[in-house]
Amino acid sequence: MAQDHSGIGSRERILAAAAAMLAEDVTATLSVRAVAARAEVSTGSLRFHFPTQRALRDAVLARIYGGLFSDDPIQDRSLPARDRLVNCLRQVLAPAGVGQQAREAWTKAYQTYIASDPTDEVRTAYLALEREGRRRIEYWLTVLADEGALPEEDHTSRARFLSTVLNGLSIERALPAEDSILQSETETLYTAVDCILTANQRE
C-alpha cells in the first residue's frame, strides 16, 4: 500500500531527503536504506526512481550544484571561512557539469586549445580567461584574509594552487569515474581549502 505524502512525489521526497542528509554531513554515505527511511519510502520505491545508487547520487549532485548558490557564497558570513570558500569553488566547478555534459565541455576545450598548436590569438584569449579565474579566487582569498582567516600576503600562488585543483577536478568529471565523485570531490575541495587556510600556522 502506497503511503500518502500529501501530493509530494516520492522522487522529490527522496531527493530532498538525500540533499538534507548531505547538508547535515557532507561525508554522508547516502545508503539505500538510510535515504529511503529518511524519505519515508521503501527501498523498492527508491530503486524504481533511481535504478542504481549512482543514478541517485548524480541526481542529488545535479540538484545541489545546479544554481543553488545564486549569489556570492563568500559574503555569507553565517558560514565558516572554509565552507564559504569551498562553496565558491563549487560554483566555479558547476558549469563543468557531470557525465556527458562534462565530456562535451572538455571536447570544446580540447578542440580549441589542445588539438592543434594554438594561434597567438587563441593563446592569449585562454590566458586571459585563466587569469580571470585566478583573479576571482584571489578576490575570495582577500575577503577571507580581511577577516584574518589567512595571511594578508601575496595570494597569487595560493590562487594558482586552487585553480590547479579545480582543473584536476574538472577533467576528472569528464574522465570515467566511480560513483563516489560527489563525496571525493567535496573532500578534495576541503583538503585544498584547509591547506590554504592553515598555511599561516607554518613558517
Return residues touching DNA (CB under 7 A).
1-3, 9-11, 29-34, 41-45, 47-49, 51-54
Q: Which is nearer to a copy of itself, 3 or 167 (CB)?
A: 167
DSSP state of 135: H
Q: Report in angstroms the alpha-carbon separations of 13 from 26, 38, 114, 184.
A: 19, 9, 44, 25
166: closest CA among 136, 142, 146? 136
**47 binding a copy of itself? (CB under 8 A):** no
Q: Is 67 left (phi over 0), alpha (psi -120 to 50) or beta?
A: left
List C-alpha distances in Å: 172 to 91, 93, 159. Answer: 16, 11, 20
If one asks whether residue 179 binds a copy of itself (CB under 8 A), the answer comes out as no
Residues ≥6 apart with Cβ < 8 Å to 46: 14, 32, 35, 36, 39, 56
Q: How far is the CB of 178 from DNA (least distance, A)?
A: 12
Contact between 176 and a copy of itself by CB under 8 A: the answer reads yes
Q: From the list DNA, a copy of itself, none, pick the one residue 75 interacts with, judged by a Cβ distance below 5 to 8 Å according to partner type.
A: none
Between 37 and 105, CB nearer to a copy of itself: 105
Q: 52 — phi, psi (to 5°)?
A: -150, 160
* 51 is an interface residue for a copy of itself by CB under 8 A: no
Cell 562553496 belongs to residue: 87
Residue 35 or 74 having the CB closest to DNA: 35
Does residue number 123 form part of the binding site for a copy of itself (CB under 8 A)? Answer: yes
In this complex, which beta carbon is closest to DNA, that of residue 35 or of residue 149? Answer: 35
Among positions 69, 118, 133, 200, the unique one binding a copy of itself when judged by CB under 8 A: 118
Minimum Å distance from CB 127 to a copy of itself? Answer: 6
Whole-angstrom distance, CA of residue 150 vs CA of residue 196: 7
Alpha helices per DSSP H over the chain: 10-24, 32-39, 43-49, 53-65, 81-93, 99-109, 120-146, 156-174, 181-197
Question: Considering only residues 7, 25, 132, 202, which one is a binding residue for a copy of itself as defined by CB under 8 A?
Answer: 202
Residue 146 touches a copy of itself, criterion: CB under 8 A: no
> Could you tell which of a copy of itself, DNA, none binds residue 136, using a CB distance below 5 to 8 A set by kind?
none
List 6, 70, 78, 201, residue binding a copy of itself (CB under 8 A): 201
